[in-house]
Amino acid sequence: MISILDIIGPVMVGPSSSHTAGACRIGLFARALLGIPPAEAEVELHGSFARTGVGHGTDRAIAGGLLGFRPDDERLRESLTLAEAAGLRIEFRNTRLREELHPNTTRITVRAHDQKARIVGSSIGAGRIVISEIDGFPVEVTGASPVLVFIAQDVPGIISAVSTALARQGDNIASLKVFRRKKGGDAIHIYELDAPASRGALEVIHALSAVRMIRSIPRIT
């Protein structure tokens, strides 16, 4: 089904929904995944992002997202200067990622204090995004719904324990995906929810011995 967004595009600072609005949302996702404002970021641009991104404002859009700006925020035009003023160090460079990835793709590594997060995200048109990798795990996240992301040891009962914690707080699961590298190792869990996970559920899940990282990411608008 074609939505009105597909026809007229998102509300945004131009010039391009793919190179600007989508790129900004990828930056917002990276910031949310880190959990705190980043102090430094390495931004690797692939495909069309690498060839024409600077001319289309991709660098400013990603920087704005890392600062927490939305795609319609007029400050995007000055985001590189604002990032420097805020003490956020951003290094941009071109790279070649997997050939099957969308041409509007970036790999972003963010750090602050002792925390680090890395994503691979693509801008697929009309401001929409797909996150295809989180901290080395293959995933598929669009940011269209609030999402609970956590990494935990692959042990029996972990999905049941998390689902119970969410249900007891009235948090409804829209979809659930688990990706693991090997049996018994670490696995990444992606729970798309109807609303952001409640504090009570997050506390219970964080206390599970198998869980080593957890983030509640709001809808990326």
Taking residues 194-219, what's their average pLDDT?
97
Q: Do 62 and 82 fall within a single domain?
A: yes
Range of the structural domain that residue 185 is part of: 147-217
**Residue after which a domain boundary falls, among 141, 174, 207:** 141
Q: Identify the pLDDT of residue 221.
A: 84
Indicate whether 124 and 210 sit together in one domain. no
Which of 103, 124, 141 terminates a domain? The answer is 141
- CA–CA dist 31, 65 (Å, integer): 7
Domain co-membership, 83 together with 166: no
Q: Three-state secondary structure along the chain?
A: CCCHHHHHCCCCCCCCHHHHHHHHHHHHHHHHHHCCCCCEEEEEEEEHHHHHCCCCCHHHHHHHHHHCCCCCCHHHHHHHHHHHHCCCEEEEEEECCCCCCCCEEEEEEEEECCEEEEEEEEEEECCEEEEEEECCEEEEECCCCCEEEEEEECCCCHHHHHHHHHHHCCCCEEEEEEEECCCCCEEEEEEEECCCCCHHHHHHHHCCCCEEEEEEECCCC
Residues 125 and 186 in one domain: no
What CATH number does the domain containing 132 carry?
Answer: 3.30.1330.90
Give yes or no: residues 210 and 129 share one domain: no
What is the pLDDT confidence band of residue 99, given thresholds at 50, 70 and 90? confident
Q: What pLDDT digit, counting tens, does each position of 8-40 carry? A: 344 445 455 567 899 999 999 999 999 999 999
Question: Does residue 87 share a domain with residue 184?
Answer: no
Domains: count for the chain: 2
Query: Distance between CA 74 and CA 170 in Å, rounded?
Result: 37
Contact 44, 122 (CB under 8 A): no
> CA-based Rg of the chain, rounded to a whole angstrom?
17
Q: What pLDDT is stored for residue 7 in this prediction? A: 37
- Rounded Cα distance between 121 and 18, Å, is 12
Q: What is residue 16's predicted lDDT score, i.e. its pLDDT?
A: 58
Q: What are phi and psi of 62, to 5 degrees?
A: -65, -45
Same domain, 123 and 180: no
Please indicate, yes or no, whether residues 109 and 189 belong to a single structural domain of this protein: no
**Same domain flag for 120 and 25:** yes
CATH number at residue 189: 3.30.70.260
* Placement of tokens 């997202």 in the chain: 65
Residues 66 and 132 in one domain: yes
Section 143-159 average pLDDT: 97
